[in-house]
Amino acid sequence: MIVFLDYGHGKPGSGCSAPGFDEATDSLDVGQLARNAIIGSGWPVNVIESRPDCLSTPPLSDRGEAARDAGADLVISLHTDSSPDPREYGPIAFSMPGAGQIERIVCASWLACLARPGLAYDEHGRPHVIPIASAGQHAVASPDHKNWRHRAFLVLQHHTTIPCVLFEQGRCTNTIELEWLVSSSGRVTRAEAIRSAVCAALLSRGEIGD
């Protein structure tokens, strides 16, 4: 199986940002942690990267062409979101309308791995913690899963011949979630979620055993 990891944006400042956080740099760092974890698992996987550093921003068309030329079986595009409402939080997985079973399985596994105590606000606008129920690692998300959405992003449109998902790993405009995003544990958890999503894809293809 060939996995194309698309590290969102490129040069620092080309994505969303917050104090101590830059989306382009974070996508590269977490993506390379995930790449190393996938390779270290010893699975029959070849990982291709969209960029090796933060010195360039490859055009979307070039990334799509690179994935096709590599014969990629799956494209995972990594991003982080921002919001005008600082109360919004949490990961969101996107796929193209009409996405197939492989995208469904990959998105479900990734979201399940990121299920954790979430953030909410009471009637006075004060943040507090609420539990988020965790699904099984390889559960299949239904189309109406609140954190799995279909949207024809340009990033996804350039990979229409290849199963492709886009992961928004959280919102850097939520101060509590930002602390998690910039923490070592947050980066490792997000990399492990990507590794588990690839594992779920391999299991669905019968390329590894349970």
| pLDDT tens-digit map of 153-173 | 666 566 567 888 999 999 999
SS3 42: coil
In this structure, of 27-31, 189-193, 203-207, the range with the lowest mean pLDDT score is 203-207
Would you give the distance in Å from CA 206 to the centre of its chain?
23
pLDDT value, residue 205: 87
Contacts of 43 by beta carbon, 8 Å cutoff, 6+ apart:
1, 198, 199, 202, 207, 208
> Quick check: pTM over 0.85?
no
4 - beta bridge partners? Answer: 48, 75
Query: Which sign does the torsion angle of CA 205, 159, 104, 115 carry?
Result: positive
Kind plus residue range of the DSSP H or E element containing 76: strand 74-81
pLDDT in tens, 9-36: 766 556 788 999 999 899 999 999 999 9
Tokens encoding 182:
């910039």
pLDDT value, residue 138: 32
The 8-class DSSP code of residue 135 comes to P
Tokens encoding 58:
């490859």
Q: What residue type is assigned to position 49 of the chain?
A: E
* Domain annotation for the chain: domains and CATH numbers: 2-205 (3.40.630.40)
Contacts of 91 by beta carbon, 8 Å cutoff, 6+ apart:
110, 111, 114, 147, 167, 168, 169, 170
Place of tokens 């293809």: 205
Residues in the chain, total: 210
Place of tokens 């024809």: 152
Q: Is the pLDDT score of 208 beyond 80? A: yes
Give the CA angle between residues 55, 59, 60 to the nearest 5°. Answer: 130
pLDDT in tens, 104-135: 899 888 988 887 555 444 444 444 443 333 33
